[in-house]
Amino acid sequence: MKKADRAWETGCHLSPLTLLVGIPIANVVAPFVIWFIRKNNSPSTDRHGRAVLNFQLTITFYFAVLFLLSILIGKISFLSFLSIPIALGMRALAYLNIFFILRAAYESAQGNLYPYPFSIRFISQ
Q: CB within 8 A of 61, min separation 6: which ones?
A: 120
Query: What's the chain's average pLDDT?
Result: 93
Task: Give Cα separations from 72 to 83, 93, 94, 108 (angstroms).
Answer: 10, 19, 21, 40
pLDDT at res. 125: 65
Query: Alpha helices, DSSP H only, in 20-117?
Result: 26-38, 43-75, 83-109
List the single range of 25-39, 78-92, 93-107 with lowest mean pLDDT: 78-92
pLDDT at res. 1: 60
pLDDT at res. 82: 83
* 3-21 pLDDT tens trace: 889 999 999 999 999 999 9
Q: Where are the domains of the chain?
A: 3-109
Confidence of residue 74 (pLDDT cuts 50, 70, 90): confident
- Torsion angle defined by CA atoms of residues 96, 98, 99 and 103, in that order, rounded to the nearest 10 degrees: 140
